[in-house]
Amino acid sequence: MDGFVNSCQLRVPLQSDGEDVRLPYGITEDDRLVHVTEVASGLACGCRCPGCGERLVARKGASKVHHFAHHVHRACAGAWETTLHRLAKAVVLEAREILLPKAVAEAGDLSADVAAATMFSYEAVEAEVELGDLRPDAVVTGRGRQLLLEFHVRHHCGPEKIARLRARNLATVEIDLSRVPRLLSRAEHAELILRTAPRHWLHNAKVAAEEARLRLIAGRMAEVERRRRNRLHGRIADEVAAAWQEPARRGHRGWLTRAADAGFGEFVGVPMPGDRCFVFDAATWQAAFLLYAAVDVAGRTFTAENVLNYLQRQGMLKEPFKPRRNWEPELVAHLRERVGGFRSPIEVMAAYATWLAERSVVERTLKGWRADYEREWEARARIDAAGAARKRETDLRAKVNLLLKEAQLPTRSAKPWMDRVLPGFGGSPRALAREGGDCFEDVLRRLRELERMAWAGGDPVSGDLLGLPLEGLRRTRQAEAKARQETLRRIREEFAAQTGERRRRESSDFVDALLAEAALSMGEVDGLAWVEHAVRSASGTTFDEGRLGLDRVTQEHIKGALDDERRRSELIEHAATAGRGDEAVMTAEAVRCRQELEARALRRFVGDADMARLWLRTTQPALGRSPWTHSVDERRRDECLRLLDAALPKGKRR
Ligand SMILES: [Zn+2]
């Protein structure tokens, strides 16, 4: 919208591009600055341009913000600035008070508030006053104090003018009107000029005095600081000079080993001037440097500070070099004077990195150096392989030591053994361990077998002893094994003998018990005869031999037969005592014949009493009944006996 008031837009100087030059003020015939609101519309306003003096028309339409424009279109540069400058003077001449800015004294880093912002009332005011070589925009006077005002419309006060103001001690405030919007009312413009536009002191006697005081203080502080720094530098120089003389020590072997494993062996141990800041020799700190740069941070840029911090974390810097100094030039210059050959650790880092870059170990980048990933992969693979080989070697050495200890042999022979070629393996144990592979596995397997032999009670092994002094041990183990077998055989024999003796005793005890029992039921003579007959029949030998060799089953049968015999006697006795005359005699005869038949059957079937009883009680076709039922007198008993002889299978006959 055309009528919209925008300070940015209005700040743009009026260009000769045919645009309408819009002004809020014009000059009347009697040379007064009037706002467009105070005049008639159009040419009737009777105003001229404050810049060029040409006639203006007052545009007081409905759609745009009211303003003056040149009657004849023309580029009128500077019209607004001239207007504003003139307006400011007019406003100050009409007013009686103006806001003075806050007074602040500043010197270096120090500052102090001298006076707060305040309204200044004035009784007298003059514009464009000649003060010798100075011509301020306005001079106001109040309560005996004179104050110069400068309006900054296009240019602010230059340093020479400020110097003249200071020289003559003229209190001056500059008001910045460069951003005052154009199309405002006169009252709004006056408010900006008198109070709200930014303003500051060009010269203020109190501020000047305070600043002089602050400068003095700042100067003293700087002096104190300079002395403090000199003292500090002196102290550091003393410490550095002392530490510089300390000889470098050899660092932990691990650094060098790892660097060599990684393939960096040829790049460490390079003399680098000024590296006496390190506790350790060049080889050690350079190994650490390389492992950091080419492995830990490979692919990334590192700076001299990065790598120095790393070495510090590894405890490689002498005491005075430990603090995280940025090695400012003043200190370094001071140290160069005091300590011969001194270079800051940062310089040493940079020098070594440059040396490495010349050999393409690292490459220069914009901010530092960098090693590529390929180098890192290669280094890591080499480190891993070397570590594994070393571990195999250590393990092998430990195994052999353990074996020798187990065999109670001195372990000192393990060391030369490691380097002696093993016949049949084509290399020394150390070389085989370094190489790994099947041959090494074979050595390990053999060692395990030898170790088992070394254990107390272990079995002797035959064949290769891997060149270890285990021949004596093997002979010992062979003798032990032989002795063990001998003992075992003896124990078995003893056991067998004891078992036989026990059985003989059991058999003898059985026969003794049987004799006692038989004597009880048959009388001494018959009992002895019965038992002797039974034992001879069962064993098939003499009674004296048989009484010691009856097994359990035979004992059972003989016992069963004795029980039958006793039952038969009891039956006869019972029948006899019943006293039933002939019938009883006949029955007694039948009982006797049956018992004789049973005894014969038992004897014929010795070893199988069940078979004997089964035969007695089974119906035989030749008799028409069982032998037991048939045998009631001696004639029938003999028939049965003949049948028994015929029935017995040949193999069973004794
Ligand atoms: Zn003009």
pLDDT per residue over 182-226, tens digit each? 889 999 999 999 999 999 999 999 999 999 999 999 999 999 999
CA distance 147 to 273: 68
CA of 36 to the centre of ligand 1 (A): 15
Q: What confidence tens digit (pLDDT) does each residue in 321-347 have?
A: 887 667 888 888 889 988 888 998 999
CA distance 358 to 376: 18
Domain count, the chain: 5
CA distance 257 to 265: 9
Residue 331's domain comprises 242-371
Residues flanking ion ligand 1, Cβ below 5 Å: 49, 51-52, 76, 79
Query: Which one of 183, 203, 223 terminates a domain?
Result: 203
Say what the pLDDT of residue 577 is. Answer: 65
Q: Please name which of 117, 107, 144 lies closest in space to residue 201, comparing C-alpha atoms.
A: 117
What is the identity of the amino acid at 18? G
Could you tell me if 299 and 362 lie in one domain? yes
CA distance 39 to 56: 11
Percentages helix, strand, coil for the chain (3-state, rounded to 5) are 55, 10, 30
> Is 96 contained in some domain?
yes
Count Cβ atoms within 10 A of the Cβ of residue 518 and give its class: 0-12 exposed, 13-18 middle, 19 or more buried. buried
CA of 28 to the centre of ligand 1 (A): 14
- Which residues, 6+ apart, have CB-to-CB distance to 429 below 8 Å? 396, 400, 417, 418, 419, 420, 422, 443
Regions in the chain scoring below 50 on pLDDT: 1-18, 650-654
Element housing 250 (H / E) = none
Say what the pLDDT of residue 434 is. Answer: 87
Which residue(s) pair with 415 in the sheet? none
Question: Can you point out the beta strands (E) in 454-545?
Answer: none
CA distances from 528 to 331, 471, 488, 490, 541 (A): 133, 70, 45, 41, 17
Could you tell me if 349 and 399 lie in one domain? no
CA distance 531 to 250: 105
> Is 526 contained in some domain?
yes
CA of 30 to the centre of ligand 1 (A): 17
Question: Strands 118-121 and 33-35: what pairing?
Answer: unpaired
Say what the pLDDT of residue 492 is. Answer: 94
Could you tell me if 391 and 460 lie in one domain? yes
CA of 21 to the centre of ligand 1 (A): 8
CA of 37 to the centre of ligand 1 (A): 19
Q: Please name which of 373, 386, 384 lies closest in space to residue 294, comparing C-alpha atoms.
A: 373
CA of 150 to the centre of ligand 1 (A): 24
Q: Please name which of 182, 177, 150 lies closest in space to residue 3, comparing C-alpha atoms.
A: 182
What is the identity of the amino acid at 162? I
CA of 126 to the centre of ligand 1 (A): 26
CA of 72 to the centre of ligand 1 (A): 10
Cα angle for residues 125, 128, 130 (degrees, 5° grid): 105
> Is 475 contained in some domain?
no
Element housing 61 (H / E) = none
Contact 501, 456 (CB under 8 A): no
Could you tell me if 491 and 453 lie in one domain? no
Element housing 579 (H / E) = none
Query: Which one of 533, 566, 599 terminates a domain?
Result: 566
Contact 338, 262 (CB under 8 A): no
Alpha carbon 141 to chain centroid, angstroms: 80
CA distance 100 to 53: 34
> Is 42 contained in some domain?
no
> Is 610 contained in some domain?
yes
Q: Please name which of 41, 196, 5 lies closest in space to residue 117, comparing C-alpha atoms.
A: 196
Q: Provide the phi-psi class of 132: left if phi over 0, else alpha when psi is between -120 and 50, else beta.
A: left
CA distance 164 to 151: 17
Q: Note the maximum CA span of the chain.
A: 200
Could you tell me if 258 and 362 lie in one domain? yes
Element housing 69 (H / E) = strand 67-70
CA of 181 to the centre of ligand 1 (A): 18
CA distances from 217 to 107, 112, 114, 222, 558 (A): 9, 12, 16, 9, 139
> How many Cβ atoms are within 10 Å of 464's Cβ, its own excluded?
14
Query: Which one of 203, 227, 259 terminates a domain?
Result: 203
Could you tell me if 366 and 443 lie in one domain? no
Could you tell me if 622 and 531 lie in one domain? no
Could you tell me if 422 and 464 lie in one domain? yes
CA of 76 to the centre of ligand 1 (A): 5
Cα angle for residues 418, 422, 428 (degrees, 5° grid): 40
Cα angle for residues 299, 304, 310 (degrees, 5° grid): 75
CA distance 38 to 58: 10
Q: Provide the phi-psi class of 316: left if phi over 0, else alpha when psi is between -120 and 50, else beta.
A: alpha
What DSSP character marks residue 158? Answer: P
Cα angle for residues 143, 145, 150 (degrees, 5° grid): 125
Could you tell me if 315 and 365 lie in one domain? yes
Could you tell me if 93 and 155 lie in one domain? yes
CA distance 346 to 326: 9
